[in-house]
Amino acid sequence: MKKVNRWILLITALFLSLFSCQNKNIKDFNNTEKSKIEKSGVYYEIFVRSYADSNNDKIGDINGITDKLDELKELGIQGIWLTPIFKSPSYHKYDVTDYYTVDPEYGTKEDLKNLVSKAHSKGIKVILDLPVNHTSKEHPWFKDVLQNKNSQYKSYYRVTKNNDQSLNLNSYAMNHKTWNKLNNEEMYYAIFWEGMPDLNYSNRQVREEVKKIANYWINETNIDGYRIDGAYHIYGDGEYSKNVDLEKESVNWWKEFRSSLEKEHPNIYIVGEVWNDTNKIAPYYAAFDSNFDFEISENGISEAIISQDATTFSDKLTKIYETYGKVASNYIDAPFLTNHDQNRIANTLLDLRQQKLAASILLTLSGNPFIYYGEELGMKGSKPDEEIREPYLWGNENGQTKWEEIKNNTDTPTLEVQKKNPDSLYNYYKKWIALRNGNEALKYGDLQIVNVNDNQILAYKRTYKNKSVIVLHNLSNTEKNVNVDGKNVKISGLTSVLVNTI
């Protein structure tokens, strides 16, 4: 009898172990329904150099952002993402030379602490951009590698012999060769460009250093989380031999990274940049709360408006949410229109009514919508990069940055002008942000497509607990009559309406 009991216990333990493993992806980190709600909000991306200048040196800075917190609060923003602020030789600062120092152009650690403190007092979260796929070529580690053949930091980077047969040293990514000459005998990997050598995440010392950096800024300044730059490229194309599962290794690293932060900071919010399609983005929900939804951005909202095709976009949304839900039950999508690497939405949607429609679609979708600074003004810009990052248009000299000549927005109404115009794009954004912030179904609810038998009407129901609202977007230029939830709703062309359910 005792033997039978032992076998029962062993079988039970094995069953529980298998069950636990099968569900591990759903609970890789502590993202409960409660924490999901706490992390929710409308976020605003600030390209720091372009936003607000506090000391009249023409360059945006941290204190400038602090000075403008009331403006952000008035718009309804609940979180801000700051592009990199660490010491760097470039204007964009995605190539870091010192991860423990705020770049003097932008201010000091004390300035950042002050910004976070004041932002929190106004109900605004702050997340920092963390570019740790690579460093600058000017980082002391890499400079030591260049100067010292036996540098202790050589293993911090992906360096190999120039005759290494196990690697494809002729690999291409982003329209250039990824392996670059280090010296007469060796090469180093840099997926973005040769000035940004990739860190070696097969090196335990590198992993521990990156965890240390991330914990440092949370402990020192009380930030709310990170936007992870280039998360998909940690194990890059051509960086390792063919037998390495790049996606698996990358996701496993980010899970390790998250786990290290959660030990001290269980409510940390992390949003990843996985610039790819839905199937490639989904696995990263095992590590991140949110991932930027490039399918909604690049081939989503603007394409639906231009084509006036609600069916294709509805099918896309359904696929996205189903795919993410298989990885994490409480995922938080991160939809957006454009960011600092893309042509601005006003260059794609030239009609102001189309831009307004794009805004109301963005602000009624699931997850945390991200707004690129100036999008609410209709700021224009197309590549090169500097021209999609032009100075914010305040309308007066109070905080105005001038590091880059304004070329594309000489005719774009400034914030000062738009505030006075009730029909402005700014006031449209403000209205829909307020609608979202005041409606739990729009903030936290699930999204279900509603069929209204008209492929020019994008319709969906947002539901949270016992509260629901139906959202209708008319993608056409003509007025429509729609029967929904037992009601006949009249909706003008290129407009959006909310319908309270019975």
User: 415-422, long-range: CB within 8 Å, 24+ apart, which pairs?
Assistant: 415/71, 415/377, 418/377
Helix (H) or strand (E) holding 189: strand 186-189
Check residue 28 and give its pLDDT.
55
pLDDT at position 17 is 42
Q: Provide the pLDDT confidence category of residue 9 given band limits of 50, 70 and 90.
A: very low
The residues pairing with 186 across neighbouring beta strands, listed in sequence order, are: 161
Pairing verdict, β 225-228 and 186-189: unpaired
- The pair of structure tokens assigned to 43 is 């976020």
Which residue has 């700051």 as its token pair? 82
- Average pLDDT estimate for 219-240: 97
User: How many CB atoms sit inside 10 A of residue 382's CB?
Assistant: 13
Other Cβ atoms closer than 10 A to 451: 11
Asked if residue 444 lies in contact with residue 37, where contact means CB atoms within 8 angstroms, the answer is yes
| Cα–Cα separations (whole angstroms), residue 71 to 74, 238, 250, 426, 430 | 5, 45, 38, 12, 11
CA distances from 190 to 7, 134, 238, 293, 326 (A): 55, 8, 10, 25, 33
pLDDT tens readout for residues 31-79: 788 989 999 999 999 999 999 999 999 999 999 999 999 999 999 999 9
What angle, 0 to 180 degrees and rounded to 10, lies between the N-to-C axes of helices 109-121 and 204-221?
60
Query: pLDDT tens, 379-424?
Result: 999 999 999 999 999 999 999 999 999 999 999 999 999 999 999 9
Q: Which of these CATH numbers, 3.40.630.10, 2.60.40.1180, 3.30.930.10, 3.30.750.200, describes 445-501?
A: 2.60.40.1180
Checking if the pLDDT of 16 tops 90, the result is no
| Bridge partners of residue 128, in order along the sequence | 82, 226
Sign of CA dihedral 441, 316, 31, 261: negative
Decide: 269 and 127 in contact? Cβ < 8 Å: yes
pLDDT-based confidence at 366, cuts 50/70/90?
Answer: very high
Instruction: Respond yes or no: is residue 273 known to be catalytic.
Output: yes
CB 269 within 8 A of CB 263: no
Question: Which residue is listed with tokens 């997926």?
Answer: 191
Quick one: pLDDT at residue 74? 98
Percent of the chain with pLDDT strictly greater than 70: 94
Q: How confident is the model at residue 11, as a pLDDT?
A: 42
DSSP string, 135-149: --TTSHHHHHHHH-T
**Predicted confidence band at 30 (pLDDT cuts at 50, 70, 90)?**
low
Q: Which two tokens stand for residue 438?
A: 């005041």
Annotated domain spans of the chain: 40-132+204-438, 140-189, 445-501
Residue 27 has pLDDT above 90, yes or no: no
pLDDT of res. 31 = 78
Residue of 95, 103, 129, 229 marked catalytic: 229
pLDDT digits (tens, 9 = 90+) for 268-300: 999 999 999 999 999 999 999 999 999 999 889
Distances (CA, A) of 360 to 10, 425, 435, 458, 460: 56, 11, 10, 12, 13
pLDDT at position 375: 98
Share of the chain above pLDDT 90, in %: 91
What tens digit of pLDDT does each residue of 66-125 get?
Answer: 999 999 999 999 999 999 999 999 999 999 999 999 999 999 999 999 999 999 999 999
**Class of domain 40-132+204-438 as given by CATH:** alpha beta
Domains 40-132+204-438 and 445-501 fall in the same CATH topology: no
The pLDDT of residue 474 is above 60: yes
Give pLDDT tens digits for 295-321.
999 889 999 999 999 999 999 999 999
Strands (E), 285-342: 290-291
Nearest to 251 by CA among 151, 146, 340, 327: 327
Q: Which residues pair with 473 in a beta bridge?
A: 458, 496
Please return the burial class of 425, using the count of CB atoms within 10 Å of its CB with bins 0-12, 13-18 and 19+. buried
| pLDDT one-digit tens code per residue, 450-466 | 999 999 999 999 999 99
Bond prior to 197 in cis (omega within 30° of 0): no
Q: Is the pLDDT at 23 greater than 90, yes or no? A: no
Residue 129 designated active-site: no
Which phi and psi angles does 213 have, rounded to 5°?
A: -60, -50
Cα angle 299, 380, 302; round to 5: 20
Candidate list 28, 61, 198, 273, residue with the active-site label: 273
Looking at residue 7, what is its pLDDT?
A: 47
CB atoms near residue 220 (< 10 Å): 14
d(CA 447, CA 428) in angstroms, rounded, equals 23
* Per-residue pLDDT at 502: 60
